[in-house]
Structure 1
Amino acid sequence: MAYKILFLDIDGTILKPDHTFSDITKQAIASVKKQGVEVFLATGRPLHEISELAEELDVHSFIAYNGAFAIHQGKTIVNEPIPLKNIEQFIDIAEKNDHELIMYTRDKNYFTSLDRPFISQFIDIFDLKKNAVFTPDIMDKILGATVLNVSTEKVRLYEIESNLRLSPVHVNGAEHSYDILRKNVNKGYSVEQILSLLDISRDQAIAFGDGMNDKEMLGAVGEGFAMGNSHEDLFRYAKHRTATVADEGIAYGLKQLGLFQHA
């Protein structure tokens, strides 16, 4: 099979828990690029928080905000802000239940509060740089949202429409945090838009991920790899199970496909 495109989640897939990536991972990405494979970073993170990593890996195409925004070589392909009415509802639910929200725009991360310890911990875990307190004037610009300090039984409060689901943030130290996802706007949706635009079949597409926000993406490609450290519920959505991020899961998976020979 002549593979043409590769989608890579970041946290737990490229990046280890200490925010670093291995030389072998970088070599594997460079190797597939030399073979003419287009590489996308595909993340729940906001675009403004991944520029340094993208530069280090020499990757210039992105799916960000869990699929609400996508760029191919500088051209915007997907731009789907969360509906204003949903943002208003999320803020109201969070306020009534002692939760906190992070809302992501193209430029910053907006928090309902910056004063609580678990918020500082979340910022440290993801090394978030561009942070501010939420103001109503940015409500129509929000591309993604994460709710913090949520018990399992309260998750359903945010699933106020059939189109909405919460996905647990699959990173150590971020327990009780959930990404608010739309069933019709997710990483898989962006993958489908990109494949259509570039006239690439799903069988020519590869993806690696580790969290439940990756399930649609893994199902949208011909070769979906769940990292060995994945959320336990993700494996059934993936065609392959690879090694953990600490054990070079990307390189190991690409080697299985004959795309990398040095791992």
Structure 2
Amino acid sequence: MKKAVFFDIDGTLIDCLKGITDITPRVKRAIGELKARGNYVFIATGRPYAFLNEALLDFGFDGFVLTNGAYVKIADKCIHKEAINKELIEKLVDKFEDLNVEYILQGEKYSYIKDTHKKLHSYYESYSVSKSYLEGNFNHKEVDVYKIEMLCNDQAGTDYCLTLGDSNFNYIYNLHDQTFELYSKANSKASGILKVLEYLDIPVENSYAFGDGKNDIEMLSTVGCGIAMGNADDYVKGFAKKVTDTVENDGVAIGIEKFIL
């Protein structure tokens, strides 16, 4: 029976901060071998579509679980999408504006960020994010938003963003960069993966996932075999069934060769 394998991007397939901005040749070969044997390969990421570079889009993945599961597509067909309530978005944006918090609203194809948010633009440039699908002229009341990321310029903004984990939202916080990722609790990479498996009629025990971050924990513990990267925190590794090597040591390829093929 066919298998479905899901890959996180940052810290798993690539690591831009360490200069690994493309999937390495060995990892490409290993994923190619999965496909050659008739298996499915998917991206499962916190990134929106706008943050996918041409190399990822053109690689040949069978689909994408995007914005932590809030938007899911197989080939060119969307099989699930659930935008954040527009009233909540309006309330958040008003507060961000008051507190000088830079933000980006991540949509279905385009993501929306003001041209004046220079620090946040610079942050994404460090991750080699293209501006092709970044829109600066928008009305936040009219766009569908699946995830929000913020950069705080002072303690007041940080303190407010730290209050946003509630019944509606989860967040990931990077203390060093003062950045947040805010996403709905109604969706996760795991819920998106389960929708893919149901659509393709693949049993959970035939699914695998590679990840390294806290937003990978649910998918690592939900799939048949969760494989943590060697560069993951020990806490994250505790939710995986297997642990492979680091990104720079072709950990994904080693994991595919050792645990799947």
Instruction: Return the TM-score normalized by structure 1.
Output: 0.86
Structure 1 117/155 Cα, relative in aligned 2: closer, same or farther at 3 Å? closer
Question: What's the CA shift for 1:227?
Answer: 1.1
Sequence identity percentage? 29
RMSD: 2.4
1:211 and 1:139 map into 2 onto residues whose CA distance is: 32
Corresponding residue for residue 25 of structure 2: 23
Runs of 4+ in 1 over 6 A off after TM superposition: none
CA offset digits 1:223-263 (Å, max 9, x no partner): 1111122245422222222111111111111122141xxxx
Q: Is residue 221–residue 240 contact of structure 2 (8 Å, CA) maintained in 1?
A: yes
The answer on 1:182 being equivalent to 2:184 is: yes
Q: Please point out which of 39, 42, 45 is paired with 2:41.
A: 39
Structure 1 164/57 Cα, relative in aligned 2: closer, same or farther at 3 Å? same
Corresponding residue for residue 147 of structure 2: 144
CA offset digits 1:20-79 (Å, max 9, x no partner): 221001001001111111011111222243251234422131111221111112221111
Corresponding residue for residue 158 of structure 1: 164
CA offset digits 1:177-196 (Å, max 9, x no partner): 12112222111111111111
2:174 and 2:44 map into 1 onto residues whose CA distance is: 15
Q: Aligned runs of 1:1-263 on 2, under 5 Å? A: 4-17=3-16, 18=19, 19-50=21-52, 52-129=54-131, 130-133=133-136, 135-136=138-139, 139-149=142-152, 153-159=159-165, 161-168=166-173, 175-259=177-261
1:85 and 1:211 map into 2 onto residues whose CA distance is: 30
Unaligned runs of 5+ in 1: none
Partner SS state of residue 35, structure 2: helix
Structure 1 123/88 Cα, relative in aligned 2: closer, same or farther at 3 Å? farther
Q: Is residue 107–residue 143 contact of structure 2 (8 Å, CA) maintained in 1?
A: no
Unaligned runs of 5+ in 2: none
Amino acid at match of 1:60: D
Instruction: Return the TM-score normalized by structure 2.
Output: 0.87
Q: Is residue 228–residue 236 contact of structure 2 (8 Å, CA) maintained in 1?
A: yes
Structure 1 92/138 Cα, relative in aligned 2: closer, same or farther at 3 Å? closer
